[in-house]
């Protein structure tokens, strides 16, 4: 496929440093961030398992999980058609159409779209902010991706619980300031938190991200892993970050 001819105005192709894969993005709409890459390194999809990414954006998490794991099939659900179209073109560009499906649809309707107990694994890098004050246009793609405009944290967790098989795993990246709400909501929907890792920008700074694994119907015991430090000095990643990115 001629990658360049597949681009729309203001789109670009970025390297993913995994299996030679690339991704189409539009910097004026929304580009994936480190949180999505870290989630792809934290999530585990085992041999022959199927995985669903809720709010997949341009498909970064399914593409990286296909590269990093032995999962059988990956699906991305995205409400914004323009992002879903970019994701489909990226999947095709990488020759992954047989392993990754991109579906345009609403997270709040995921269980209706896919059916109950349909997946072994669910991932999500959901909107973090639940305060929409000051947003000039609620329907700009960046606003939808960052703020709880079209779905809430509870919507994401509820639908993840419904589409997961018993014993299935839910992986999410979020902000620590909402950790109490996250843990309470997970438990309310019988997704018991089992593994958690805090992400710190520097070793002496407070965490700005949290990675959480929950198991549907699991017992109430959680392992807090050693923290992940992003930078060992200004503009220099730690070895663990370089490994996750594949540099």
Q: Is residue 96 situated within a structural domain?
A: no
Query: Is residue 78 a contact partner of residue 84, using CB atoms and an 8 Å limit?
Result: yes
Q: Is residue 168 situated within a structural domain?
A: yes
pLDDT at 148: 56
pLDDT at 4: 56
pLDDT at 2: 47
Distance of alpha carbon 202 from alpha carbon 180, whole angstroms: 23
Sign of torsion over alpha carbons 73, 122, 61, 89: positive
Please give the C-alpha separations between residue 217 and each of 5, 51, 84, 222, in angstroms, as whole numbers: 48, 18, 32, 13
Q: Is residue 50 situated within a structural domain?
A: yes
Number of domains in the chain: 1
Please give the C-alpha separations between residue 171 and each of 2, 58, 135, 196, in angstroms, as whole numbers: 35, 18, 28, 10
Q: Is residue 163 situated within a structural domain?
A: yes
Domain range enclosing 238: 33-76+107-245
Q: Is residue 220 situated within a structural domain?
A: yes
Residues 6+ apart with CB under 8 A from 55: 77, 78, 79, 107, 124, 125, 126, 127, 145, 151, 156
Q: How many other CB atoms sit within 10 Å of the CB of residue 231? A: 15
Q: Is residue 211 situated within a structural domain?
A: yes
pTM of the model: 0.92
CA 97 from centroid of its chain's CA atoms: 19
pLDDT mean by block of 10 residues, the chain; 247 residues:
68 93 89 94 97 96 97 96 95 97 96 98 85 56 60 93 98 95 96 98 97 95 96 94 88
Q: Is residue 25 situated within a structural domain?
A: no
User: Domain holding 222: CATH number?
Assistant: 3.40.50.150
Q: Is residue 24 situated within a structural domain?
A: no
What b/e string do you get for 16-32 counting C-beta neighbours within 10 Å, with b at 16 or more? bebeebbbbbbeebbbb
């Amino acid at each position: 496929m001629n990658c360049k001819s597949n681009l729309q105005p203001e789109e670009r192709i970025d390297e993913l440093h995994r299996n030679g894969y690339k991704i189409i993005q539009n910097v004026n709409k929304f580009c994936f961030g480190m949180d999505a890459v870290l989630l792809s390194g934290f999530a585990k999809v085992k041999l022959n398992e199927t995985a669903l990414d809720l709010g997949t954006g341009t498909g970064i998490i399914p593409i990286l999980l296909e590269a990093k794991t032995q999962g059988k099939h990956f699906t991305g659900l995205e409400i914004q058609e323009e992002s879903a179209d970019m994701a489909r073109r990226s999947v095709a560009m990488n020759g992954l159409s047989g392993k990754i499906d991109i579906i345009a649809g609403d997270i709040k309707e995921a269980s209706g779209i896919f059916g109950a107990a349909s997946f072994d694994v669910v991932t999500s890098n959901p909107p973090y902010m639940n305060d929409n004050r000051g947003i000039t246009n609620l329907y700009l793609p960046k606003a939808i991706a960052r703020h709880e405009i079209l779905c809430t944290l509870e919507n994401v967790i509820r639908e993840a619980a419904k589409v997961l098989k018993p014993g299935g795993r839910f992986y999410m990246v979020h902000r620590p300031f909402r950790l109490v709400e996250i843990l309470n909501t997970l438990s309310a929907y019988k997704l018991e938190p089992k593994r958690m890792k805090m992400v710190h920008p520097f070793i002496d700074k407070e965490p700005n991200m949290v990675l959480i694994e929950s198991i549907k119907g699991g017992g109430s015991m959680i392992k807090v892993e050693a923290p992940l430090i992003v930078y060992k000095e200004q503009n220099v990643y730690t070895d663990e970050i370089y490994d996750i990115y594949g540099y």
